[in-house]
Amino acid sequence: MHAACLFPGLLFACGMAGAQVPESGRAQEMRYSAEEVASTVEDRYIERVVGLAADGRLDDDRVLLARLQSIGAGLVRAAVALKPEVAGWEWEFHTTSDAEVDAICMAGGKILVGSAFVRQLALGDGELATLLGHEIAHAVAEHHRETLSEALFLNRYPVVPLEVVMERLESDLSVQVRLSKLSSMQESEADQLGMVLAHRAGWPAADMVSFYRKLSDGDQMALVSSAYPASASRLSMAKGMALLFQSDR
């Protein structure tokens, strides 16, 4: 149990709720409800997806789309086993030829993967599962909701609508800097939880290591964030996790 839960009245007063990351059990303090975050993020997601579709750049690689959907379905099943409530989320997988996109996950399980990125790294199915596992892990661990909650707290905003915090988070560099420690921890967490999901979905650990080796070789600033741990340390994490999976058998 989270220590703060000892004061339910206080929690209610500040609108906080406790949450927990599956597997690691890390406690998170949430100041927005999952529903609130999902509906606000969904508006932006729809806007983005509709914009890409209007430009003819959504799901224009049908073969990749089919791979994403079938690999994604297995990973979502593994995620449901860890956190049953994600079964009720509307998971969506899309691909885009927009070269700016490598891979993006939005709250509630909306995942967009860039076809140029997949081609550039020549990702096989197990490697693609590792990439998707990372993105699905962000959703499952509700990192978006946690970041927005933390932004509200760190910046001592009065309780403002979520939309306002989201805009500040996107446009204000100082807010991003103050959140960089959290972001970098979330990236490492998504790497690890993502590998657990890929492992449980039956993908070989060698493919996961190979994915992180490709990132490290190309020194890709992949998976959209300056908050990334150095790619070399991500590769050693992947190797360590692979050893754990082996000893699991």
CB of 180 to Zn ion, least distance (A): 14
Using the contact rule CB under 5 A, the part of the chain among 33-41, 50-58, 149-157, 221-229 near Zn ion is: 221-229
Using the contact rule CB under 5 A, the part of the chain among 18-26, 91-99, 215-223, 238-246 near Zn ion is: 215-223
SS3 readout for 141-188: CCHHHHHHHHHHHHCCCCCCCHHHHHHHHHHCHHHHHHCHHHHHHHHH
Q: Are 71 and 194 in contact (CB under 8 A)?
A: no
Q: Are 91 and 71 in contact (CB under 8 A)?
A: no
CB of 187 to Zn ion, least distance (A): 5
Site for Zn ion in 165-194 (CB under 5 A): 187, 190
CB of 184 to Zn ion, least distance (A): 10
> C-alpha angle 115/116/121, rounded to 5°?
100
CB of 112 to Zn ion, least distance (A): 13
Output the residue with the shortest Cβ distance to Zn ion.
223
- Residue in 96, 92, 127, 131 with CA at minimum distance from that of residue 114: 96
When the beta carbons of 193 and 223 are compared against Zn ion, the nearer one is 223
When the beta carbons of 20 and 184 are compared against Zn ion, the nearer one is 184
Look-up of token digits 């086993």? 81
When the beta carbons of 2 and 213 are compared against Zn ion, the nearer one is 213
**Antiparallel, parallel or unpaired: β 103-106 and 110-114:** antiparallel
When the beta carbons of 59 and 191 are compared against Zn ion, the nearer one is 191
When the beta carbons of 94 and 234 are compared against Zn ion, the nearer one is 234
CB of 216 to Zn ion, least distance (A): 15
Dmax over Cα atoms in the chain, in whole Å?
53
Give the chain's length.
249
Helices 34-54 and 162-171, packing angle to 10 deg: 60
When the beta carbons of 226 and 247 are compared against Zn ion, the nearer one is 226
When the beta carbons of 68 and 223 are compared against Zn ion, the nearer one is 223
Q: Are 134 and 143 in contact (CB under 8 A)?
A: no
Look-up of token digits 């339910």? 8
- The count of residues interacting with Zn ion (CB under 5 A) is 3
Using the contact rule CB under 5 A, the part of the chain among 56-64, 161-169, 197-205, 222-230 near Zn ion is: 222-230
CB of 159 to Zn ion, least distance (A): 28
Residue 190: CB atoms within 10 A of its CB come to 24
Instruction: Rule CB under 5 A: choose which of 58, 152, 205, 223 binds Zn ion.
Output: 223
Residues lying near Zn ion in the complex (CB under 5 A) are found at: 187, 190, 223
